Amino acid sequence: METKIVISDPKTGKAYSKTLSTDEALSISGKKFGEEITLAFLGLEGYSAIITGGSYMTGTPMRKEIDGIGLKKVLIKSGVGNKEGVRRRKSVAGNTLSQFTSQVNLKVTKYGEKPLDELMPAKKDNG
């Protein structure tokens, strides 16, 4: 299973993405929303970030208030794809990262010496 990581920089407003190897994905497995992790495993020395969101392998969004791994059907009244004031039963993923997590969203909280632009260069578009 391929895991993509999206790192948001609140100072610049830019986001950087990278596809993780299996070993890198295993290093963050078991972490929960709101936990702060160091980004040294990505080669970003001195950087740390907080987990702000993610997606399950089916594209289902993860919810902070749902504990555990895997999909659960819950009754929600707000959120993505739901009209305000209407309660609906939706499938959502739990708040714990696992091998089934396809995307992890992070927000930088502590900066290293080098800027992210140097460490994670933008990809050139060939079109």
Give the pLDDT score at 125.
47
pTM metric for this prediction: 0.81
pLDDT (0 to 100) of residue 60: 86
The pLDDT score that the predictor gives to residue 123 is 58
- Give the domain ranges of the chain: 3-62+97-119
Straight-line distance from the first to the last Cα atom of the chain, in angstroms, rounded to the nearest whole number: 28
Q: Profile the chain (127 residues) by mean pLDDT over runs of 10 residues.
A: 88 90 86 92 91 89 85 79 76 87 93 86 54
Question: For position 122, what pLDDT does the model report?
Answer: 64
Which value, in Å, is the radius of gyration of the alpha carbons in the chain? 16
CA atoms within 13 A on the CB side of 27: 12
In this prediction, residue 118 carries a pLDDT of: 83
